[in-house]
Structure formats: structure tokens, C-alpha cells
Amino acid sequence: MRSALYASCAIGLLVGGVGCATQGTGGGGAVTGSLVTVQYVNPQNFTDFSVQGRDVQTSSTTFTREVTRTLEPVMSSRFPGNTLTLRFTNIDLAGRTTAGPRQVRVVSGARHPARLSFNYVLQDRSGRPAASGSQTLIQTSQPGGPGRPRTLDTETQMLRRWLRGLSVNR
């Protein structure tokens, strides 16, 4: 199972230049070379990590893709040449999943805000940490805006705001 995950990550990196989702507590298996690397610590124990009713492996692949797609432009413009590693310790996706055969996620109001807990390391070109720490982001604004919301829109926007405001050691 893990070999298939690592192979999928390697193919994803080669084709799309995205980070790798890894499961478990060890950092091994992560593919390096992208601007953003996403890792997971025991995702099977996360509060709510079912993207569109999918299992943990599929959810981690989808979450990694959306996070890297969102954060790589910020990294390129704000931290050129640097790399960011996000190691998620808990995820509670926005909204709630309805009961029934289709398990639809309903995001409305502040009753079920998104919560993302992670450790991070921002490294400069030489590999030295420019910033590191632990962070918990909690959704403070209502979802919405023009157009149809994308999968994980709330969570990726939270991470984008956090990265744009990240202070670094210069």
C-alpha cells in the first residue's frame, strides 16, 4: 500500500511538480525538489479528513494537490528559491458531512469551522531554516464569494493567508 502511494507521489512530482503526501509518523518517503512538500502524521486519526467522502489515501492525495497548487505561486513570488514543508498533525475540514449514501459536505455558517494543525519549515536556498514552528489555523471568516466554490477552497485560502503573512528570519 505504501509503495503504491510513494510511486504515485513520484509520478505526480515528475508530471506536475507537486509535493508528496506521506502517511505515518516517519518523514521517510517524501519526494523532495518541489516548492511545497506536504506530509501527514497519522492521518487516519485526524478529526475530519474525508474529502468528498473518500478514504484517507485519496483524501491526502487531493488535499496535497490543492494545497501545493494554491501555495506554490505564493512561494514563487514571496520566497523565491525557498522550499516549504508542511507536516499536518490534525485536519478538521470545514462543514459537516451529511448522512446517507452520497455523503455530501455542507459548508455553512460558523458551526463547523475548518481547523488545520501543522508544523512547518521554510528553508532558504542553502537549506537553512528561514522560519519554522507549529501552527493551528481556525476558520474565522464565512465561506463564500463569487463563483462556485472549489474542493477545499476554505482550507487552501486559510493556508494562503497564513503563508502571505509568515514572518521570516533574515
Q: What are the residue boundaries of the structural domains of the chain, listed by start?
A: 2-165
* Distance from C-alpha of 24 to C-alpha of 7, rounded to nearest angstrom: 16
pLDDT confidence of residue 140: 80
The pTM of the full predicted model, rounded to 2 decimals, is 0.72
pLDDT confidence of residue 57: 94
pLDDT confidence of residue 166: 97
pLDDT confidence of residue 14: 34
pLDDT confidence of residue 142: 62
Q: Which residues of the chain have pLDDT under 70?
A: 1-33, 96-111, 142-150, 170
pLDDT confidence of residue 104: 47
* Distance from C-alpha of 20 to C-alpha of 12, rounded to nearest angstrom: 8
